[in-house]
Amino acid sequence: MYRTHNCGELRINKLGTEVTLSGWVQKVRKLGGMTFIDLRDRYGITQLVFNDETDAALSEKAQKTGREFVVKINGTVTERSNKNPEIPTGDIEIIVKKMEVLSKSEIPPFTIEENTDGGEEIRLKYRYLDLRRPVVQKGIILRHKMAQEIRNFLSNKEFLEIETPFLIKSTPEGARDFVVPSRMSDGKFYALPQSPQVFKQLLMIGGYDKYFQLTKCFRDEDFRADRQPEFTQIDCEMSFVEREDILTTFEEMTKHLFNKVMNVDFPNAFPRIEYDKAMENYGSDKPDIRFEMKIHDISKLSQNKGFKVFDDAEYVGAICAEGLATYSRKQTDKLIDFVKRPQIGAKGLVYVKYNEDGTFKSSVDKFYSPEDLKTWAEALSAKPGDLILVMSGEKSKTLTALGELRLEMGERLNLRDKNKFAPLWIIDFPLFEKDEETGQFHAMHHPFTSPKPGEFNLLETNPEAVKANAYDLVINGNEIGGGSIRIHNTEMQEKMFEHLGFTKEGAEEQFGFLMKAFKYGAPPHGGIAFGLDRWVALFNGSDSIRDVMAFPKNNAGRDLMIDAPAEIDEQQLTDLHLKIVK
RNA sequence: GGUCCGGUAGUUCAGUUUGGUUAGAAUACAUGCCUGUCACGCAUGGGGUCGCGAGUUCAAGUCUCGUCCGGACCGCCA
C-alpha cells in the first residue's frame, strides 16, 4: 500500500497513529543531526522528521533525497514542539521509521512552490512540473468544479448533453478554419468546428429541445492572453423559446455558479443594456460596470466657442475621474501619451481640473471661460477635486477611445476590484456590421441570427438599422457568453444569406443541408454559448486563460512542451495527397 | 500583415545609455559545519557559445543589419 492518508489531511487528533504517506519531496532542511522534509501532494504538505540519534542510516538516506523525488514513508504522527500556523498540518509531523524512494528526479528547472522562480516560457515547456504547484492546481480544480455545477444545473433542467462531430466542413463565414486533409478523398479536407452552431440547430430540428455540451472549438486566428486556438464552450440551445426564456434560464445558471463556486449572491436581476446605450455610455459593447464614470456627450456645450478642434468634430465626449484634479502636468501628459498610443489612436486629450477651491484649470482656458467649463462639470456631475477628460472626433472612434481611457482611469483609481463582480446583459445588437474596406455586410453575431421581432421589414429598406435578437453576458468587462434567437425558416435564412453577399448557389453549397432541414418542421429555437476558459479565469482572478488550461499553447499557437505543430514525414504527406510548397 | 518590449549562470535579473582589466547579484546546485527548521543559518566551491549569423572597429554582451525564439497589443477572432 502506498498511502493511508494524503499529505494535507493529518491533524493533531491523529497523534500516535501509524501512517503511510507518498508524495513529492518539496524541500529538505538539514540541521546537523536532524533533517526535515516537506512532503507534498495535491492535498497539502506534511513535515517529516529524521533524527541521527534514532536511526543514523535512515537520516543519512533522508539527507540524500533531492527535490521532487517521489517517496513513500511509514511513521508516527507526533505533535510538533515548534508549530507552524501557516499550514493546516502545521501542528503535527511524522517521525519516520521507514522510507522508500519510489522515483528519483533530476534537478527541476524551476522551483515548484507557491511562488516559483520560473518564467512563462520555461513553465510552459515543463507544464507537468508547473501543474504540481498549488496555484496552478487551484485553477484546474476550480475549472472542474464549474464544469460539474454547469452539468448539475442543466441536467436538473432536463437539458441533454449531446456530442457533435469535430471533423466537419469548412464554411466561409467567420473565423479561419483549422483544416484536416482527408486520406480517403483525394484533395478534400475536413474542417474543425469553430463552434457546434449548425449541429445544435439540427438537434433542435431533431427534437432534442434542450441541449448542451462542454466542447472544444477551434479558430485559426491570432491569439491573445484570452484567446487560444482551441478553447472550450458551454454550448446550449433550446426550442420553443423567446429571448426572455433564454435570458431567464441562463441568468439563473450564472447565479447558480456564482453561488456554488464563489459564494456570491445576486438578489436582483442582471441589468440589461442596449448595445447603442453601452457604446454611448461606456464606449464598449462589454462594459465594466463595477464602476460608473459614464461617458457624457458635451458636443453642444463645447462647440462654437472658437476651439477649432472641437468645432470640426462630429462628437465631443468626456469622463470624470474623481479626485484627480491634483494630477501634475507630468501625469496629464502621461494620459495624453496613453490615448495617443497606436492601439487607441486618438489625436489628443483635453483635461479640465475642477480644483478644490471651485476654480478651473484646463488645457483649453484660451477658448473657454470658467462659466463654460462649469457647464461641462455640471453635465458630468463633477465635484471640486475631480479631473474631467475630454476627447473629440468621429463619434464611434471617440467613444471607443474614451472607453479605453475610462478603463485606464478605473484601474488607476482602483475601481476594478477582482473580488467584486458586475454581470449584465447586452441586448439589441445590430444584425449587420459593414466592412469598412469592401462595404460588404457581415453578420455581427452569426448568419443564423434572427432579426428582432417587428424589424423584418427594415431588412429591405435599411439593413444597417436592423437590430438582432441577440444578447451577450458580460462580467467585469469580459464577454463571457453570447447567443441569439435563430432563424427557423428557409425564406428568412435565404434572405439573410443574400444580404451577406452569398449567391443562391453558394448558399446552397455551403448550407444546403440546413436550408433543407428547415423545410421539415423546424421549431422556433435559440441558444447561447459561454467561454468556459474565460469564465474560469475570471473566477480565478487570472488575467490569462492559460492559467486555467492544463496544457495551453503559447501566443503563436505552439505547444512548447510537445513542440507542436511539427513536420510530418514524406509517407504521411503522400497518403494525404499533399505536397509542401516552399 | 503591423507596432512595442525582451533573449546574459539551471532559474530570475543587473551590466548595453558612453565599446576597453578576469561579465556580476540573488536563488538553485555540490561539499563541510550546525538537533527544532519551515524563505533555516554560516562557510567554501563549481556553473556562461552574453539566442544565432554577418558587419563596423585595434577592441563588441554593449554599435549596425539580418535572422530565430518568447511576451503584450493592433488588424483578425461571425
A78 phi/psi in degrees, rounded to 5? -135, 150
Please count the other Cβ atoms lying within 10 Å of the Cβ belonging to residue A376.
Answer: 23
Coil, helix or strand for A514?
helix
> Which CATH number fits the domain that encloses residue A200?
3.30.930.10
C-alpha distances in Å from residue A432, one per residue of A205, A419, A440, A464: 26, 36, 10, 6
| 582 residues of chain A, pLDDT tens digit each | 999 999 999 999 999 999 999 999 999 999 989 999 999 999 999 999 999 999 999 999 999 999 999 999 999 999 999 999 999 999 999 999 999 999 999 999 999 988 888 888 899 999 999 999 999 999 999 999 999 999 999 999 999 999 999 999 987 778 899 999 999 999 999 999 999 999 999 999 999 999 999 999 999 999 888 889 999 999 999 999 999 999 999 999 999 999 999 999 999 999 999 999 999 999 999 999 999 999 999 999 999 999 999 999 999 999 999 999 999 888 888 888 888 877 777 888 999 999 999 999 999 999 999 999 999 999 999 999 999 999 999 898 899 999 999 998 998 898 988 899 999 999 999 999 887 777 788 899 999 999 998 888 888 888 889 999 999 999 999 999 999 999 999 999 999 999 988 889 988 888 999 999 999 999 999 999 999 999 999 999 888 899 999 999 988 889 999 988 988 889 999 999 998 876
Check whether residue A469 and residue A385 sit in a common domain.
no
Check whether residue A158 and residue A223 sit in a common domain.
yes
Domain that holds residue A56: 12-103
Query: Within 7 Å: CB of A446 and strand B?
Result: yes
- Name the grid cell of A8: 494535507
pLDDT for position A488? 94
Distance from C-alpha of A159 to C-alpha of A70, rounded to nearest angstrom: 44
Q: Which nucleotide is nearest to A36 (CA to C1')?
A: B37
Check whether residue A228 and residue A352 sit in a common domain.
no
In a domain, A85, yes or no: yes
In a domain, A336, yes or no: yes
Which is nearest to A89 in space by CA: A40, A51, A138, A122?
A40
> Which CATH number fits the domain that encloses residue A87?
2.40.50.140
Distance from C-alpha of A500 to C-alpha of A443, rounded to nearest angstrom: 7
Distance from C-alpha of A450 to C-alpha of A254, rounded to nearest angstrom: 24
Which is nearest to A318 in space by CA: A289, A280, A288?
A280
Q: Which of A412, A437, A455 is the last residue of a domain?
A: A412
- Name the grid cell of A182: 482527408
In a domain, A231, yes or no: yes
The shares of helix, strand and coil residues in chain A, as percent rounded to the nearest 5, are 30, 25, 45
Sign of torsion, CA A444 A450 A453 A458? positive
Q: Which of A362, A382, A412 is the last residue of a domain?
A: A412
**What Å value separates CA A164 and C1' B6?**
43
- Name the grid cell of A530: 459561454
Check whether residue A438 and residue A529 sit in a common domain.
yes
Strands A272-274, A423-427: pairing is: parallel
This prediction has a pTM of 0.94
Check whether residue A334 and residue A447 sit in a common domain.
no
Cβ-based contacts (< 7 Å) between A 289-348 and strand B? 342-343
In a domain, A201, yes or no: yes
Distance from C-alpha of A236 to C-alpha of A160, rounded to nearest angstrom: 10
Please count the other Cβ atoms lying within 10 Å of the Cβ belonging to residue A178.
Answer: 18
Query: Which helix (H) or strand (E) element contains residue A74?
Result: strand A70-79
Cβ-based contacts (< 7 Å) between A 48-87 and strand B? 49, 51-53, 66-67, 80-84, 86-87
In a domain, A26, yes or no: yes
Check whether residue A538 and residue A471 sit in a common domain.
yes
Check whether residue A425 and residue A541 sit in a common domain.
yes
pLDDT for position A580? 84
Q: ∠ at Cα A558 (A557, A559), nearest 5°?
A: 125
In a domain, A127, yes or no: no
**What Å value separates CA A110 and C1' B24?**
21
Check whether residue A97 and residue A40 sit in a common domain.
yes
Check whether residue A393 and residue A441 sit in a common domain.
no
Query: Within 7 Å: CB of A560 and strand B?
Result: yes
Distance from C-alpha of A515 to C-alpha of A178, rounded to nearest angstrom: 25
In a domain, A577, yes or no: no
Which is nearest to A75 in space by CA: A20, A4, A15, A6?
A20
Q: Which of A384, A412, A440 is the last residue of a domain?
A: A412
Structural domains of chain A, count: 3
Looking at chain A, the number of H-run helices and the number of E-run strands are 17, 22
> Which CATH number fits the domain that encloses residue A373?
3.30.1360.30
Distance from C-alpha of A474 to C-alpha of A478, rounded to nearest angstrom: 5
Check whether residue A172 and residue A242 sit in a common domain.
yes
pLDDT for position A582? 67
Check whether residue A400 and residue A302 sit in a common domain.
yes
In a domain, A113, yes or no: no
Please count the other Cβ atoms lying within 10 Å of the Cβ belonging to residue A385.
Answer: 16
Report long-range pairs for A506-513 (Cβ below 8 Å, ≥24 apart): A506/A172, A510/A171, A510/A172, A511/A171, A511/A198, A513/A202
Query: Within 7 Å: CB of A197 and strand B?
Result: yes
Check whether residue A404 and residue A457 sit in a common domain.
no
**What Å value separates CA A576 and C1' B78?**
30
Coil, helix or strand for A17?
coil
pLDDT for position A464? 87
Query: Within 7 Å: CB of A554 and strand B?
Result: yes
Cell 540541521, residue located: A31
pLDDT for position A460? 85
Query: Within 7 Å: CB of A472 and strand B?
Result: no
Q: Which nucleotide is nearest to A557 (CA to C1')?
A: B70
pLDDT for position A543? 81
